[in-house]
C-alpha cells in the first residue's frame, strides 16, 4: 500500500460550490447589508430550529466561544460560584467559565462515552456550586437524565457544550433541547460550519431578549442600551455559507456513517483497540472518530501518532493534555490526577483518526493497514 502524497488531516471542511456561493454573495453585495441580523442570518436561525428539532429558541453567534460565554452570563450565576465541568474538552469550555468570573471544578469522565460521569458529580457539589457544564464530546451524548436529576436536587443550572454535537439526538429528541442552554459551534472543523460561527439553543423563551442584547453590545434600539453586552453577531457571508452547507450536511453524515462502518469492521479486528460504542438511543453527529489504544496494543498511542505522521497521516490526541493539565488550571484542587483517574488514563490512549466524507477509501484502508502494524 502507498502512503498518501499529501497530508491527510482528521477533518476537512464541508464547503458549498463556489458557483452557489457566488450567487448568494451577489445578492448580499447588492443589498449592502453585510451584518447586524440581516435576512440570511434570520433565515438561518429559522432553519436551524427545524434541523436541530428544537422546541425552544435558537440564537446565532459569531463563534461558539462567545456563545458559551453569553450562555453562562445570561443564567445569572452567583459571582465567583463554582461550575462543575469536565477536563475532557477543548480549552474554550473552562475558559468561558473563568471569563465569567466563575470557578471551574473538574469532574471525571465515563470511559465509554468520555462525557462527564454523573456518579462523580455530587461529591463536587458545595454551597458555592451554581451549575453543571457538560460536554457532548465527539457528538456522543452526556447522561442528560442523571444530570437533570442532580441539578434539580441541588437547584443547579445545566449548560451543555454541544460544539461537537450538531444534529445528535437522544431518544429521537434534538440534543439542544436538554438543560437550560446548549451551545453549538459552527467552526470550519465542525460537521456543519459557517467558517466561524455558533448558536445557543434554550427552552426558556424569556431568555431571548437578554441573549439578543448580550450579542449586540446590549443595544436594544437606537436610543436604548439595556446592559453591558458584547459583539457576538454572525455576519451575512457566514450565514450564506451556513444556508448552503445546510443542504449538504446530511449527505456528508451519510458518507461518514459509511466510513465509520468500514473503520469499525476493520479496526475491531486489531488486538488492543477499543472503539467507543454509543448507546442505542443516541444518534451520532459523526464529528470525530476516536479510538482507544489499550495496553495490549502492539505499540503506544504516542508511537502510533508518530508512525502515522511519518506517512502523512495527521491524527489528533483529543484530549491531551487535559484542560486540568493546563498551566492556568493545574493548581486547582479538582485538577489533581487522583480526582480524575479515567481522564488521566485516557489522555495517553485516545487518538482521533481522519474522518470526513471525502476521505478516499484507499486512504482509510492505508490508515487501518498502518494501525495494524504493517
Ligand atoms: C468542545 C468545544 N467547545 C467549544 C469550542 C469553541 O467553539 P468555537 O471554535 O466555535 O469558538 C470548540 C471548538 O471549536 C470545541 O471543540
Q: Mean per-residue pLDDT for 103-123?
A: 97
Residue 56 cell numbers, joined = 425552544
Question: Of 36, 11, 34, 51, nearest to 243 (Cα)?
Answer: 51
Q: Where in the chain is the domain with CATH 3.40.640.10?
A: 18-246
Return the number of other C-beta atoms located less than 10 Å from residue 317's C-beta: 16
At 358, the pLDDT band (50, 70, 90 cuts) reads very high
Atom of ligand 1 nearest to the CA of 92: 4
- Residue identified by cell 447588492 is 30
Sign of CA dihedral 36, 287, 19, 43: negative
Class of domain 18-246: alpha beta
At 2, the pLDDT band (50, 70, 90 cuts) reads confident
Q: Where in the chain is the domain with CATH 3.90.1150.10?
A: 249-371
Q: For position 10, what pLDDT does the model report?
A: 98
Q: For position 353, what pLDDT does the model report?
A: 98
Q: What is the pTM of this model?
A: 0.98
Give the tens place of pLDDT for each residue, 7-52.
Answer: 999 999 999 999 999 999 999 999 999 999 999 999 999 999 999 9
Q: Mean per-residue pLDDT for 267-274?
A: 98
Q: For position 171, what pLDDT does the model report?
A: 97
Q: From 64, 115, 168, 231, give the residue whose CB has the most ligand 1 atoms within 8 Å, as the site to mutate.
A: 64
Q: Find out whether the beta carbon of 135 lies less than 6 Å from any atom of ligand 1.
A: yes
Q: Which residues pair with 311 in a beta bridge?
A: none
At 344, the pLDDT band (50, 70, 90 cuts) reads very high
CATH number of 249-371: 3.90.1150.10
Amino acid at each position: 500500500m502507498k502512503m498518501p502524497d499529501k497530508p491527510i488531516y482528521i477533518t476537512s471542511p464541508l464547503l458549498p460550490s463556489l458557483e452557489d456561493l457566488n450567487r448568494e454573495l451577489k445578492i448580499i453585495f447588492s443589498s449592502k447589508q453585510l451584518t447586524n441580523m440581516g435576512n440570511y442570518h434570520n433565515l438561518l436561525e429559522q432553519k436551524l430550529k427545524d434541523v436541530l428539532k428544537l422546541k425552544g429558541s435558537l440564537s446565532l453567534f459569531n463563534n461558539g466561544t462567545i456563545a458559551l460565554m453569553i450562555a453562562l452570563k445570561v443564567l445569572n450565576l452567583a459571582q465567583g460560584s463554582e461550575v462543575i465541568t469536565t477536563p475532557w474538552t477543548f480549552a474554550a469550555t473552562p475558559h468561558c467559565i473563568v471569563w465569567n468570573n466563575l470557578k471551574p471544578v473538574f469532574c471525571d469522565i465515563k470511559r465509554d462515552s468520555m462525557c462527564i460521569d454523573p456518579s462523580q458529580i455530587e461529591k463536587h457539589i458545595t454551597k458555592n456550586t451554581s451549575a453543571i457544564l457538560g460536554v457532548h464530546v465527539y457528538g456522543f451524548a452526556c447522561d442528560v437524565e442523571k444530570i437533570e436529576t442532580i441539578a434539580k436536587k441541588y437547584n443547579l443550572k445545566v449548560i451543555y457544550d454541544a460544539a461537537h454535537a450538531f444534529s445528535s439526538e437522544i431518544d429521537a429528541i434534538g440534543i439542544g433541547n436538554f438543560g437550560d442552554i446548549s451551545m453549538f459551534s459552527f467552526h470550519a472543523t465542525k460537521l456543519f460550519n459557517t467558517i466561524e460561527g455558533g448558536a445557543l439553543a434554550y427552552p426558556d423563551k424569556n431568555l431571548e431578549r437578554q441573549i439578543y442584547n448580550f450579542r449586540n453590545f446590549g443595544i436594544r434600539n437606537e436610543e436604548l442600551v439595556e446592559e453591558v453586552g458584547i459583539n457576538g453577531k454572525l455576519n451575512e457571508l457566514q450565514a450564506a455559507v451556513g444556508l448552503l452547507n445546510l443542504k449538504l450536511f446530511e449527505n456528508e453524515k451519510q458518507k461518514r456513517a459509511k466510513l465509520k462502518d468500514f473503520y469499525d469492521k476493520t479496526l475491531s479486528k486489531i488486538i488492543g483497540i477499543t472503539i467507543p460504542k454509543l448507546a442505542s438511543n443516541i444518534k451520532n453527529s459523526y464529528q470525530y472518530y476516536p479510538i482507544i489504544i489499550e495496553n495490549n496494543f502492539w505499540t503506544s498511542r504516542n508511537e502510533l501518532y508518530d508512525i502515522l505522521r511519518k506517512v502523512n497521516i495527521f491524527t489528533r490526541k483529543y484530549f491531551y493534555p487535559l484542560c486540568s493539565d493546563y498551566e492556568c488550571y493545574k493548581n486547582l484542587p479538582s485538577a489533581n490526577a487522583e480526582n480524575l483517574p479515567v481522564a488521566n488514563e485516557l489522555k495517553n490512549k485516545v487518538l482521533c483518526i481522519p474522518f470526513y466524507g471525502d476521505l478516499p477509501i484507499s486512504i482509510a484502508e492505508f490508515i487501518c493497514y498502518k494501525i495494524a502494524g504493517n
